[in-house]
Structure 1
Amino acid sequence: MRHTPSVDPEFSLTVDGREVAFDDDGSTLLDLLRERLGITSVKDGCSPQGQCGCCTVLVDGQPRVSCVTPARRVAGRNITTLDGLPESEQRAWADAFCSTGGSQCGFCTPGIVVRLAGLRASGETDRERAARALHAHLCRCTGWQTILEAWDAYGTGAWTGDPVLAARRAELEGGVPQAVGPDVVLGRGGFAADTAPDDHLVAVPDGSGGFGIGETVAEARVAAGKVQGRRTTVPARPPLDLPPGDWAATLRTSWVEPAYLETDAAWCVPGGEPSSPLANGGAFGGKSRSSAPTEARSLADEHGRPVLMLYAREDTVRLGPKRPPVAGGVDADGRGVLRVARTSGIDAAVARVAPGLVVEEVDIAGPPTSVDLRAAGWAEAVALLAAARGEVGTVIAPDGGTATAQVDADGIRITVGCGDPLDETVLRSYCVGAAHMAWSWVTSESLVVDDEGTVQDLTVRSFDVVRATETPSIEVVIEPDDSEPCNGSDAVFAAVAAATWLNRGAPESWPTAT
């Protein structure tokens, strides 16, 4: 908790059954809940956009995104956060999400649980209605299906998984240590913005290489002169031209946003080591080289106080790495040329799955790129080879995982082999999430970057991630194996991307919907 409520209040409201009173200083309901009351299950994934759903609470039983709700507007009303649900209900939702794999990093989960709890409290039981309710949210990890399975599983029994084996499988899939269990579902994943010392300063990028500093997030953003990002109306276009040649298959991809939910954040005390921006998930490789920890340490030493470095959604989009766009052509024998936005290590990544492709790195204006992002470069190579031969076949990922995928009008069907599954629920969850990410990438996602290399699409909805009601059904078959476990979802991602593209007729450019 950062601040004590005023003793001379201007308005009051009831939060999780407790009446509280505050001066009206223009705070949002999200600011009040997190900064003044210390309720960290209410997450901030995009404020003040109101588009990710992570800050959802119930106001007199109705769901509302708190980051765009002035606190004064809910004076005299009842506010319920995840923490305010009855303990038995919290446990039932945690069991349902753990039993189906409906939560991975857990950052988006509390807001989703609150919305679904409000829906059930209204008497609603229809799964399609729950899917439509998820339009107010973004979950990048799970691909929606396992969340809807959790909706169906609510109240059917306790989670019986082994948290050690589940965490081991999650770490293999996510690339960093990751907890699995009820605490994650209930918002206790240990995220940096939730665990900073009480006396910390907040720092945010100011857009010109410096930082705005304040006692609260709101103060820091004012000091930084933060302006809310917008979505451009200009259509996205692939930035690279195809290499010349008479190719059996050609592909051009657009800029896309990794869209991990927890924005870059880290805190540090003076003279100490900074916290990790990877509290409970790997962000699909997008945070592997985040500068937030270094910035937090430098500012803590400078100011002599703990500092929380906290990127806004717009900062993460502008500064965070993207998978490099490609433009390539390939012959039926697997030989060809793949032009790629210059990215360290990309040639080696492609060579591991497509040694017949010559990689040409090209300097283009744009945001930073990284080979660390999920299957960067080699998934595109797999798709090109599949299109040239007319079938996906078995995809073998560089780390040994294998996958096949079929995509048709009935949905997406996957087989995956990755050694000992350890925990089939967790493995299936990651494979469903990878399948959704691949489908969404090929069919829908793009990011407008102007000729100067500046990202213009800065809002969550501008990423065009496919929503729950638009996602095909996904079936996962796990091949039995007792060998050494390895990552399986990256192979699934590449296989589904290739199968989706072939199902769409292998048009030259992604996304195929444009």
Structure 2
Amino acid sequence: MIQFEVDGRQVEVPDDGASLLEVLRDRLGIHSPKDGCSPQGQCGCCTVLVDGQPRVACVTPARRVTGRTITTLDGMDAERRERWGEAFCATGGSQCGFCTPGIIVRLDGLHRAKPDAGVPEVERALQAHLCRCTGWRTILDAWDVATGRPSVAADVLRHERDLDDAARRAEIEGHGPQRVAPDVAVGAGGFAADTAPAGALVAVPRPEGGWAVGETLSEARAASGKVQGRRTTVTPEPPLELPPGEWAVTLRTSWVEPAYLETDASWCEPGGEPASPLANGGAFGGKVDSLVRAAARQLADEHGRPVVVHLSREDAVRLGPKRPPIAAGVRADGSGVVRVVRTPGIAERIRAVLPDVEVEEVDVAGPATSVDLRAAGWAEAWALRAALADGPVEVTTPDGAVASAEVVDGRLAVRVRCGQVLDDVVLRSYCVGAAHMALSWVTSEGLVVDGEGTIHDLTIRSFGVLRAVDTPPIEVEIEASDGPAVNGSDAVFAAVAGAVWCAQGRPEVWPTGQTVRQP
């Protein structure tokens, strides 16, 4: 047996090779540490304090903390935890709320060690974390509010908001139900893996198909023969060749990973309704057709017990859909050819923006693709259209939102109009996050997929998502209008992608490998 202290109480657990994260979540029921990389030690969502020092729990064997003191976000001083939650909510530093518990633990540790830490030190601390939603800038705002002068914090926290309206705006932007509240930032978003009943069986995919089921996550993973994912040293390459012709603009995009932090999970009672993997956000369209719900229902009925189904990070990469890569050549008059990996609905999306191009759908060995991912098809088409014009890039979405973007002196300047604002904090947060995602997509993101269609980049750090230290300032101007509220962040995503690409001289291949942030 292993004995140690957790959040002020002594505990004893079996020494069965489990990680500290598994012990905290599955044996002790402490769900503020999250499992985002399963277990690669690369996303920071499971960060806890071990004898006061931040440590990622997923790669810490439980036996190594024998006799030591563990503090999770749940065990933090209640007043400090509340202050962090309010600051993240007030600035939009939390959206789905999956990554923020680990971030708050680290930032609170930084503040205790160095109360006067500035932005560069906070950005360095955040290198241990990945946040896909917020684009980092709003997390830096939350640091300022939580640790700044009382008057500064009071000004922001006094800003009157209707959190029901905030949730409505978040649902519009995230394409899925979402709650907005201070407790979301501290881990209470209601994720499926957090709400499964104690004693539920655990199921994970087998490489050959089907499901390995065990009493614990460790047991199920051992039965499945799970192998830790790796990152290749190969440079990602676009899978499609350019169509022949004389073109004014050409573009080839690579395979990229949606990289949502909460991997797919669902649980179900026998004969019950499976929990949704879309707990507090839409995962950028990556979970619309997730297989975990049906599996949870089937396995619960089969075993006569509640079953929780987990995808590891490697499973999510292999099984989750990707945006369809393209290879396009466009003439100055807007005509041309766009080759795209065959995907239902993609041709219509491209032609909606570039009506004079011929769309060639091509069968390519590789992962599944989907038009449900953020602005798939029409964002690429808008980038091509922007490359044929001069001046700031302006995008109009099928819903009627309008966004423009420019790269100015190493920063991104964004303007958006998308009907009734409802909540400016949430809208700004989503627009900053969309700008970061677009910048990252154009400049640094890519997956290595071989000729047989096998994905080789399976670690969360191998996706190329820009870190806080690499993300430039992002300025968002919101223009209110009287029309119905529609999604604005997808328009920002498309506008920033086009603006960054044009500012870099329209290199043919994405990711470009170029930066925007000035040293």
Alignment TM-score, normalising by the size of structure 2: 0.96
Change (3 A) 1:123 1:392: closer
Query: Match for 2:504: what amino acid?
Result: R
Say whether 1:97 aligns with 2:124: no
* 8 A contact 1:353–1:397 mirrored in 2: no
Match of 1:5 in 2: none
Pick aligned residue for 1:106 from 94, 97, 101: 97
Match of 2:451 in 1: 451
* 8 A contact 1:416–1:476 mirrored in 2: yes
Say whether 1:317 aligns with 2:311: no
C-alpha deviation, 1:398, in angstroms: 1.2
C-alpha deviation, 1:391, in angstroms: 4.1
C-alpha deviation, 1:351, in angstroms: 2.0
Say whether 1:73 aligns with 2:64: yes
Looking at structure 1, the residues matched to 44 and 284 of structure 2 have their Cα atoms a distance apart, in angstroms, of: 20
Identity %: 65
Match of 1:483 in 2: 483
Match of 2:517 in 1: none
C-alpha deviation, 1:271, in angstroms: 1.0
1:361 is paired with a residue whose SS is strand
* 8 A contact 1:286–1:372 mirrored in 2: yes
* 8 A contact 1:249–1:329 mirrored in 2: yes
* 8 A contact 1:171–1:178 mirrored in 2: yes
Query: Match for 2:75: what amino acid?
Result: G
C-alpha deviation, 1:290, in angstroms: 0.7
Query: Match for 1:470: what amino acid?
Result: D
Match of 2:142 in 1: 150
Pick aligned residue for 1:116 from 107, 112, 115: 107
* 8 A contact 2:393–2:498 mirrored in 1: no
* 8 A contact 2:444–2:464 mirrored in 1: yes
Looking at structure 2, the residues matched to 289 and 230 of structure 1 have their Cα atoms a distance apart, in angstroms, of: 26
User: Residues 30-78 of structure 1: CA distance to partner in whole angstroms, max 9, x if unpaired?
Assistant: 0111111100011000122000100000111110000000111111111
Looking at structure 2, the residues matched to 475 and 58 of structure 1 have their Cα atoms a distance apart, in angstroms, of: 34
Match of 1:7 in 2: none
Say whether 1:133 aligns with 2:125: yes
Looking at structure 2, the residues matched to 410 and 340 of structure 1 have their Cα atoms a distance apart, in angstroms, of: 32
2:388 is paired with a residue whose SS is helix
Looking at structure 2, the residues matched to 77 and 509 of structure 1 have their Cα atoms a distance apart, in angstroms, of: 50
User: Residues 363-422 of structure 1: CA distance to partner in whole angstroms, max 9, x if unpaired?
Assistant: 000000000000001101111111122445420011111100001333000000000110
Structure 1: tracts of 5 or more residues without a match = 1-9
* 8 A contact 1:115–1:133 mirrored in 2: yes
Looking at structure 1, the residues matched to 227 and 212 of structure 2 have their Cα atoms a distance apart, in angstroms, of: 13
Looking at structure 2, the residues matched to 89 and 186 of structure 1 have their Cα atoms a distance apart, in angstroms, of: 11
Match of 1:410 in 2: 410
C-alpha deviation, 1:128, in angstroms: 1.2
How many residue pairs are counted as aligned between the two chains? 505
Within 5 Å, give how 1:259-408 maps onto structure 2.
259-408=259-408
Match of 1:33 in 2: 24
1:154 is paired with a residue whose SS is helix
* 8 A contact 1:392–1:498 mirrored in 2: no
Query: Match for 1:420: what amino acid?
Result: Q
Change (3 A) 1:320 1:450: same
Match of 1:6 in 2: none
User: Residues 307-350 of structure 1: CA distance to partner in whole angstroms, max 9, x if unpaired?
Assistant: 11100000000000000000001111211111100001101111
Looking at structure 1, the residues matched to 408 and 342 of structure 2 have their Cα atoms a distance apart, in angstroms, of: 35
Change (3 A) 1:48 1:446: same
Looking at structure 2, the residues matched to 11 and 451 of structure 1 have their Cα atoms a distance apart, in angstroms, of: 47
Query: Match for 2:343: what amino acid?
Result: T
Match of 2:231 in 1: 231
* 8 A contact 1:401–1:488 mirrored in 2: yes
Say whether 1:60 aligns with 2:25: no
Match of 2:438 in 1: 438
Query: Match for 2:319: what amino acid?
Result: L
2:84 is paired with a residue whose SS is helix
1:256 is paired with a residue whose SS is coil
Query: Match for 1:145: what amino acid?
Result: R
C-alpha deviation, 1:92, in angstroms: 0.3
Looking at structure 1, the residues matched to 42 and 278 of structure 2 have their Cα atoms a distance apart, in angstroms, of: 22
Looking at structure 2, the residues matched to 149 and 282 of structure 1 have their Cα atoms a distance apart, in angstroms, of: 24
* 8 A contact 1:408–1:503 mirrored in 2: no
Looking at structure 2, the residues matched to 61 and 117 of structure 1 have their Cα atoms a distance apart, in angstroms, of: 11
C-alpha deviation, 1:511, in angstroms: 0.4
Match of 1:492 in 2: 492
Query: Match for 1:461: what amino acid?
Result: R
C-alpha deviation, 1:20, in angstroms: 1.2
C-alpha deviation, 1:243, in angstroms: 1.0
* 8 A contact 2:402–2:416 mirrored in 1: yes
1:389 is paired with a residue whose SS is coil
Looking at structure 2, the residues matched to 392 and 368 of structure 1 have their Cα atoms a distance apart, in angstroms, of: 34
Structure 2: tracts of 5 or more residues without a match = 148-152, 515-519
